[in-house]
Chain A
Amino acid sequence: MRFFCNQVLRFACIVIGIVLMAGLPMLLPSGGSFHLNWMAYFQSIEEIISGLFHIQEVTYNTEGTERKLLTQLMNIGTYSVTIVVGAILLAFIAAAILTFITMLLPPKWIRKIKVGTFILESIPDILIILTCQLFVVWLYKKTGLLFFEIASLPGQPIYALPILCLSILPMIQYFKVMISIVEGELEKQYVELAKAKGVLKQKILLVHVLRNSLASLLNYSKTVIWFMLSNLLILEYIFNINGIMRFLLEYLNPVIFAWSLLAIFIPMFLLFVIGQWLLERFTNEKVVM
């Protein structure tokens, strides 16, 4: 019970934060002056709050026609969230497999792999996404095979390449963190006991270490998600995907900004809460969020 009360409070705090943030452009000076417009800020906050409570009535304007925000958010929101969730799952699984293989290698190699991941991790997302796209085009030019659709057309959402592109950097980040967590875990005594009892290293890694490091990984996922949302912005722009970030960029209006942020935030938040609840229930680890 206490857990749920806490989560509801946390949710409320974040919604307040989003509302305060969405009003910011109104606060800042405009028209050549250098004064903060507190009045306009409070007005826009009022507007946003009333917009939050009356979602059915909020509309946006595309080339003269008024459209309902709710239906649009439903469509593009599910699409964007699918891509993000798909990418994070792919990244997590790929990183787990890579970590498993890496940990079975001799320590000399592990050190080299660590330096490699450190360098890869520093590559900015724009470079990775652009090179992915250029690479597919180049492959198409050379072989005549189009493995993935490289741009989305209206009515034909693409999934494979965006998910793949989006998962590259999170995979590297997960990999790096997993290696450090697993290395820390391997020094603990239960691993020594298991070794002494003659349990295979593979089994120790897959059963015991994996279970014990899930809590830290869930905690780290928050950073990864934040990073991925920033990647998503670039991705949707380059692949011409009709997703939530592109929609946001086109209509930079406080009410729409607040609602779109909520549309991304609510599913992510629910996922985290469920994950946290499951972990605290079935393992004895505490997750600090």
Chain B
Amino acid sequence: MVKRLFKNGYFLIGFLFIFVLCSISLLHTFVWDNHIAQTQILYENGRAVEGSPISPKLDIPLGTNVLGFHMTHMISVGAKYTIGFAVLIAFIRLLASMVFGVLYGAYFFKFRKYVTWMVDVFNYVPVTLLALFILTPFLVEVPTGFDYTFWERVWIEVIILALIAVPPTSIFIGNEMGRIFSHEFIDGAKVIGGSRLHILWKHVRPHIQPQLWIIFMQQLVQTMLVLAHLGFFKIFFGGTNMSFDPLFADPPQSISYEWSGLIGDGMRHLTVSPWVVLVPIIFFALTILAMNFMLEGLKTVTENWRVDLRPEKSVNQSINQVSEDKQFIPLKQGAVQRLELRLEHKE
């Protein structure tokens, strides 16, 4: 499966983009020690021609922000935090939804109509709004200071951002599972005497596994979007430092060079120097595009390849041994089979 994935053009492009971005970001920290160049005034023939924020030029490819720090360097330092936390959040979402989804699919499936309707609320509430509603008390500094330390805030934010997407995702997983549970081969397994756990692991899991990867990528894309939105509303990762000085109130500051913070920092300068905002947003867009490419690759690979039954090890190995590659047999061109049909291994 992994081999097939990397042969898929879409997946490869997406993966390479994110991989290169993360490696540069890590190199920036460990080799160049988070150095961020600063150009406050641009001279030409001894005369000052432009003060920060400096617009994009050949030697300053993405311009600088208000304090003269180069956007390129800040983006590169921030990439690993944003992508890393997004992956972490999506992963927690997947794990939690799997647990709840299995519980729901295996035990509460009788009430699926009502549970689905109740969780339908999430279809009418934007995730960003819900996140803002819940996170604001934790992450915006009040005059008396924060109630929690920096790392506590980061973990609270990660957990809340993860949990607010769990109900719809677990319902989705649960419904998928319930559908698989209603197949005939499950009845067969029951008759033979398989326990619930055995059926879950041996008969349901193979059907649901490719779906889980797709859900993971979808959640990753969604998390990136929410992070971008939160930055836009000046809720930065790990908390927003407000300045309550009545005379010289500083703008809200982001704590690291994490991308959503960069968006929020630049919002005030949108009309005068749009690149300060647009650069981080464009990087968000590119990363999301790359993730969508990976998702598309994943979908085509799981949809157009049929998993054949892994041959049982017999004494006469030369007959039954099928090499790892040949376990995937391409379907005829254009044929898209439903998931449940994909795993016919009766013959």
| A interface residues (Cβ-Cβ under 8 A, vs B) | 9-10, 13-14, 16-18, 21, 24-25, 28, 30-32, 118-119, 121-127, 130-131, 134, 137, 222-223, 225-226, 229-230, 232-234, 237, 245, 248-249, 252, 257, 261, 264-265, 268
**Contact: B125 with A261, CB < 8 Å?**
yes
**Contact: B121 with A21, CB < 8 Å?**
yes
**Contact: A122 with B123, CB < 8 Å?**
no
Beta-carbon nearest neighbor of B231 in chain A: A126
20 interchain pairs (CB within 8 A)? Answer: A9-B117, A13-B114, A13-B120, A14-B117, A14-B118, A25-B134, A28-B137, A28-B160, A124-B228, A124-B281, A126-B228, A126-B232, A126-B281, A130-B274, A130-B281, A229-B124, A230-B126, A233-B229, A234-B232, A265-B124
Q: Which of B124, B229, B271 contacts A14, CB < 8 Å? A: B124
- B269-312 contact mask (Cβ, 8 Å, vs A): 1 or 0: 01100100110011011001100100010000000000000000
B340 interface residue per 8 A CB criterion: no
B128 interface residue per 8 A CB criterion: yes
Chain A residues in 8 Å Cβ range of B124: 14, 18, 225-226, 229, 261, 264-265, 268
**Contact: A30 with B147, CB < 8 Å?**
yes
From B129, B130, B292, B296, residue with most partner A Cβ within 10 Å: B129
Chain A residues in 8 Å Cβ range of B213: none
- In the assembly, what is the distance between CA of A226 and CA of B123, in Å? 5
Chain A residues in 8 Å Cβ range of B148: 32
- Shortest B337–chain A CB gap in Å is 14
- Shortest B307–chain A CB gap in Å is 24
**Contact: A124 with B285, CB < 8 Å?**
yes
- In the assembly, what is the distance between CA of A127 and CA of B114, in Å? 37
**Contact: B134 with A130, CB < 8 Å?**
no
Chain A residues in 8 Å Cβ range of B322: none
- Shortest B131–chain A CB gap in Å is 11
B67 interface residue per 8 A CB criterion: no
Known: A32-B147, A137-B271. A233 touches B126 (CB 8 A): yes
**Contact: A25 with B285, CB < 8 Å?**
no
**Contact: B284 with A124, CB < 8 Å?**
yes
Beta-carbon nearest neighbor of B336 in chain A: A184
Inter-chain contact count A-B, CB under 8 Å? 121
Chain B residues in 8 Å Cβ range of A233: 126, 128-129, 229
B136 interface residue per 8 A CB criterion: yes
- Shortest B332–chain A CB gap in Å is 14
Chain A residues in 8 Å Cβ range of B132: 249, 252
Q: Which of A24, A124, A232 contacts B225, CB < 8 Å? A: A124
* Chain B positions 2-37 with a Cβ under 8 Å from a chain A Cβ: none
Chain A residues in 8 Å Cβ range of B296: 118
- In the assembly, what is the distance between CA of A233 and CA of B132, in Å? 11
From A125, A225, A229, residue with most partner B Cβ within 10 Å: A229
Interface residues on B, range: 35 or more
Chain B residues in 8 Å Cβ range of A268: 124
**Contact: A25 with B233, CB < 8 Å?**
no
B119 interface residue per 8 A CB criterion: yes
Q: 5 new A-B pairs (CB below 8 Å) besides A134-B271, A234-B229?
A: A25-B133, A28-B137, A118-B292, A252-B132, A252-B136
Known: A134-B274, A230-B127. A17 touches B120 (CB 8 A): yes
- In the assembly, what is the distance between CA of A222 and CA of B121, in Å? 12
- In the assembly, what is the distance between CA of A232 and CA of B160, in Å? 23
- In the assembly, what is the distance between CA of A265 and CA of B121, in Å? 9
- Shortest B226–chain A CB gap in Å is 9
- Shortest A80–chain B CB gap in Å is 13
Chain B residues in 8 Å Cβ range of A124: 225, 228, 281, 284-285, 288
- Shortest A240–chain B CB gap in Å is 12
- In the assembly, what is the distance between CA of A32 and CA of B124, in Å? 32
Chain B residues in 8 Å Cβ range of A137: 271
Chain A residues in 8 Å Cβ range of B271: 134, 137
- In the assembly, what is the distance between CA of A264 and CA of B121, in Å? 12
- In the assembly, what is the distance between CA of A126 and CA of B225, in Å? 9
**Contact: A245 with B232, CB < 8 Å?**
no
Beta-carbon nearest neighbor of A265 in chain B: B124
Chain B residues in 8 Å Cβ range of A21: 121, 125, 130
**Contact: B117 with A130, CB < 8 Å?**
no
- In the assembly, what is the distance between CA of A168 and CA of B232, in Å? 20
Chain A residues in 8 Å Cβ range of B233: 237, 249
- In the assembly, what is the distance between CA of A134 and CA of B126, in Å? 25
Known: A14-B117, A126-B281, A230-B127. A119 touches B137 (CB 8 A): no
**Contact: A14 with B120, CB < 8 Å?**
yes
* Chain B positions 132-147 with a Cβ under 8 Å from a chain A Cβ: 132-134, 136-138, 147
Chain A residues in 8 Å Cβ range of B147: 30-32
Chain A residues in 8 Å Cβ range of B130: 21
Chain B residues in 8 Å Cβ range of A17: 117-122
**Contact: A16 with B118, CB < 8 Å?**
yes
**Contact: B288 with A222, CB < 8 Å?**
no
**Contact: A122 with B288, CB < 8 Å?**
yes
Chain B residues in 8 Å Cβ range of A230: 126-129, 229
Beta-carbon nearest neighbor of B147 in chain A: A32
**Contact: A126 with B229, CB < 8 Å?**
yes
- In the assembly, what is the distance between CA of A245 and CA of B119, in Å? 21
Chain B residues in 8 Å Cβ range of A28: 134, 137-138, 160
- Shortest A73–chain B CB gap in Å is 16
- Shortest A287–chain B CB gap in Å is 14
- In the assembly, what is the distance between CA of A261 and CA of B126, in Å? 10
Chain B residues in 8 Å Cβ range of A257: 133
- In the assembly, what is the distance between CA of A251 and CA of B51, in Å? 39
Chain B residues in 8 Å Cβ range of A18: 121, 124-125
- Shortest B54–chain A CB gap in Å is 19
